[in-house]
Amino acid sequence: MTDQATERAQRLATLPFESSGPTSVRSVGGFVSAVREIFGQKELLDLLIRRELKSRYKDSSLGFVWSLIRPLTMLLIYYVFIGQVLGAARGVPDFAIFVYAGLTLWGLYSEIVTAGTSSIITNAGLIKKVYLPREIFPLASVGSALFNFAIQMGILLLATIALGQFPLSWDLLYVPVAVIIVIIYGTALALLLSALNVYLRDVQYLVEVAILLFFWASPIVYSWSFVVNATVQRGASWLGELYLLNPISISMIAFDRGIWKAGSEQRVIEGNVIPAQPWPEHMDIRLVITAIVGLVFVVIAQRIFARLQGNFAQEI
Amino acid sequence: MSSPAPESTPVVVRASDVSKRFVIRKDKSLKERVVNFGRSNKHKDDFWALRDVSLEISAGSTVGLVGANGSGKSTLLKVIGGIIQPDTGIVQRRGRLAALLELGAGFHPDLTGRENVFLNGAILGLSRKQTEQYFDSIVEFSEIGDFIDTQVKFYSSGMYVRLAFAIAVHVDPDLLLVDEVLAVGDEPFQEKCMAKIREFQKEGRTIVFVSHSSAQIEDLCDRVVVLSHGEAIFDGGTVDGLEALRESFGR
């Protein structure tokens, strides 16, 4: 044996044994060790996010511009058809800002969930060949969705400044809170659904449909006051409460409250007086509870993910 | 069955009673599962890819895993690499691992060779700085030349393997898992790989090697494990191992 070999053997003899693959599967302590493992790979996570962003528009000449064209087209459609043609803009002041704010936050959520759901399948090549903490793949989808969100958020803020509607008040703090809640729930769903999708490919199609449906279950193209009117007038205020149980709805309302200045003021449109939005009571407490429940959901989702990932390599 | 390596060398891989069962489901879609719900057992087939395999590999040894097609060699390699989890038994290992399984260890077809080198380096546990350090030497070893800035999807299969091998040998692994990939490169490159593997052996690295080429096994390995239908039927010296392999084909 050469010296180098002896040295290596001596070094190896001092190393502790690690079990191959993911460590503990069952306990909640496994969550902590999984988080630590992922944190140890943050450089790789960063590279995977870049890869996802780079490869998406790799061969197109407009590249990143495409990620802007889609939401702007949607804004145009909703502004013209829902707002002007169907007249929603008559009840919602600064309709363009309102819709764009809703689309921006919804875009973040739907991108995390849809890209996250297929993330394990699209990275089959890696999963079959190397061991990595697999949570990294749905998390990379979250990262790339956040990047797109940041660009759109920048445009939204510029638009509010350009229109002289920059929401300079303490309510602005609702914006990061709403974004954090959306990220929490998006991440939990991405973890859970990506693992399920390996075993049942129908999940990704189901998600597409659910995303279409839930788009209308949050105040994106109609405002919160529409919901209040529709439920209270019919004497069904419990329906409004149910609506607020949807974590995305409550975050959307918080987001609007932060960024959409006109919502908190009384405005006059074409002679009609539009009162300020009747923001839900105890909103801060509701948001805190929603966030805490979301964090529990993340832990549960990660535990399920850890259970299912043992067979990923052969099921893909 | 004693391992031929001297007692003093530490054990790098320890597998005890490892079994892996594959369930072959014939219905994949939701509709089929609902339709076949009560009768789901008829739509499942069990297949034992590994059955109670125990194995200790000590540092510095080169182990050849051989066996007929479908005997569980590649599965065993993947279990050692942590890519699949065994149903029963545990696999423990220590030291840095690099695995070369099938073609292109996790390249992204749309990214260039350069980007893939960094991605793969990170996957195999190198920091960005370390990859930068090794970069030139990786490119030189792979003989890819100017194609390093071409998207990997335009590479030939030989170029793929050359780049993958070049990265794997530069991450300073203690344990290298190789699964038949070397058969793809041309002869000069195979020679180069063999030379590199011999260098690795001198440096006391451990290599686990799956191959169908008796010549390669005889040339490189100091120990052979013969698998047949998921069971380890022989574990010992190279010459006897290849003999046992030939016998196992008849079974």
CB contact under 8 A, A55 and B108: yes
CB contact under 8 A, A130 and B91: no
Q: Report how far residue A250's alpha carbon sits from residue A240's, in angstroms, rounded to the nearest whole number.
A: 11
Q: What is the mean pLDDT of chain A?
A: 89
Confidence of residue A23 (pLDDT cuts 50, 70, 90): low
CB contact under 8 A, A311 and B102: no
Which chain B residues touch A19 with a CB distance below 8 Å?
90-92
Least confident of A154-168, B18-32, B33-47, B173-187: B33-47
Strand partners, A229: none
What's the average model confidence in pLDDT over B168-194? 82
Q: What is the mean pLDDT of chain B?
A: 83
What's the average model confidence in pLDDT over B27-51? 69
What's the average model confidence in pLDDT over B206-230? 88
CB contact under 8 A, B99 and A129: yes
Q: What is the structure's pLDDT at A11?
A: 82
Q: Report how far residue B7's alpha carbon sits from residue B225's, in angstroms, rounded to the nearest whole number.
A: 19
| The pLDDT of residue B14 is above 60 | yes
Which chain B residues touch A15 with a CB distance below 8 Å?
94-95
Selection from A271, A219, A276, A228 nearest residue A246 by Cα: A219
Q: What is the structure's pLDDT at B2?
A: 40
Confidence of residue A1 (pLDDT cuts 50, 70, 90): low
Which chain B residues touch A18 with a CB distance below 8 Å?
92-94
- Higher pLDDT, residue B251 or B158: B158
CB contact under 8 A, B203 and A4: yes
Give the chain B residue whose CA is nearest to the CA of A8: B204
Does residue B2 sit in helix, strand or coil?
A: coil
| The pLDDT of residue B21 is above 60 | yes
Q: What is the structure's pLDDT at B102?
A: 65
CB contact under 8 A, B204 and A131: no
What's the average model confidence in pLDDT over A99-126? 93
Q: What percent of chain B has pLDDT over 90?
A: 12
Q: Report how far residue B160's alpha carbon sits from residue B163's, in angstroms, rounded to the nearest whole number.
A: 5
CB contact under 8 A, A20 and B91: yes
Which chain B residues touch A132 with a CB distance below 8 Å?
123
Q: What is the structure's pLDDT at B144?
A: 87
Nearest neighbour of A314 by CB, restricted to B30, B84, B91: B84
Give the chain B residue whose CA is nearest to the CA of A47: B119
Domain range annotation of chain B: 11-249
| DSSP strand pairing (B62-67 vs B223-228) | parallel
CA B71, chain centre distance (Å):
15
Strand partners, B11: B58
Residues B77-86: tens digit of each pLDDT: 988 888 888 8
Q: What percent of chain A has pLDDT over 90?
A: 52
Residues A217-271: tens digit of each pLDDT: 999 999 999 999 888 888 888 888 999 999 999 999 999 999 999 999 888 888 8
The answer to whether the beta carbons of residues A187 and A298 sit under 8 Å apart is yes
Nearest neighbour of A202 by CB, restricted to B29, B91, B127: B29
Whole-Å CA distances, A173 to A29, A94, A168, A257: 33, 20, 10, 9
Burial of A43 (0-12, 13-18, 19+ CB in 10 A): middle
Which chain A residues touch B62 with a CB distance below 8 Å?
none
Nearest neighbour of A129 by CB, restricted to B30, B83, B174: B83
> Locate tokens 């990061």: which residue?
A176
From A309's Cα to the closest Cα of chain B, the distance in A is: 9
Give the chain B residue whose CA is nearest to the CA of A136: B123
Q: What is the structure's pLDDT at B245?
A: 87
Residues A294-314: tens digit of each pLDDT: 999 999 999 999 988 888 887
| The pLDDT of residue A284 is above 90 | yes
Confidence of residue B6 (pLDDT cuts 50, 70, 90): very low
Burial of B181 (0-12, 13-18, 19+ CB in 10 A): buried
Which chain A residues touch B122 with a CB distance below 8 Å?
41, 43-44, 47
Q: Report how far residue A235's alpha carbon sits from residue A251's, in angstroms, rounded to the nearest whole number.
A: 25
From B183's Cα to the closest Cα of chain A, the distance in A is: 18
Domain range annotation of chain A: 30-53+64-315
Mutation test of the interface with chain A: which of B8, B44, B108, choosing the one with the most A Cβ atoms within 10 A? B108
| The pLDDT of residue B103 is above 60 | no
Nearest neighbour of B90 by CB, restricted to A19, A127, A313: A19
Mutation test of the interface with chain A: which of B8, B9, B114, B131, choosing the one with the most A Cβ atoms within 10 A? B9
Q: What is the structure's pLDDT at A269?
A: 84
Least confident of A25-39, A58-72, A133-147, B19-33: B19-33
CB contact under 8 A, A314 and B203: no
Q: Which residues of A touch B (CB under 8 A)?
A: 1-2, 4-9, 12-13, 15-22, 41, 43-44, 47-48, 51, 54-55, 58-59, 125-132, 200-202, 310-311, 313-314
Give the chain A residue whose CA is nearest to the CA of B5: A1
Q: What is the structure's pLDDT at A283?
A: 93
From B202's Cα to the closest Cα of chain A, the distance in A is: 7
Confidence of residue B99 (pLDDT cuts 50, 70, 90): confident
The answer to whether the beta carbons of residues B245 and B66 sit under 8 Å apart is yes
- Higher pLDDT, residue B29 or B209: B209
Residues A30-84: tens digit of each pLDDT: 788 888 888 888 888 988 898 888 888 777 888 778 888 888 999 999 999 988 8
What's the average model confidence in pLDDT over A89-93? 88
What's the average model confidence in pLDDT over A154-180? 93
| The pLDDT of residue B39 is above 80 | no
Whole-Å CA distances, B83 to A107, B23, B95, B122, B231: 34, 17, 16, 17, 20
Least confident of A5-9, A155-159, B28-32, B226-230: B28-32
CB contact under 8 A, A125 and B29: no
The answer to whether the beta carbons of residues B208 and B63 sit under 8 Å apart is yes
- CATH hierarchy code of domain B11-249: 3.40.50.300
CB contact under 8 A, B124 and A22: no
Angle, alpha carbons B228-B229-B232 (nearest 5°) = 45
Which chain A residues touch B167 with a CB distance below 8 Å?
none
SS3 content of chain B, % helix, strand, coil (to 5): 40, 30, 30
Which chain A residues touch B19 with a CB distance below 8 Å?
none
Q: Report how far residue A94's alpha carbon sits from residue A263's, in angstroms, rounded to the nearest whole number.
A: 8
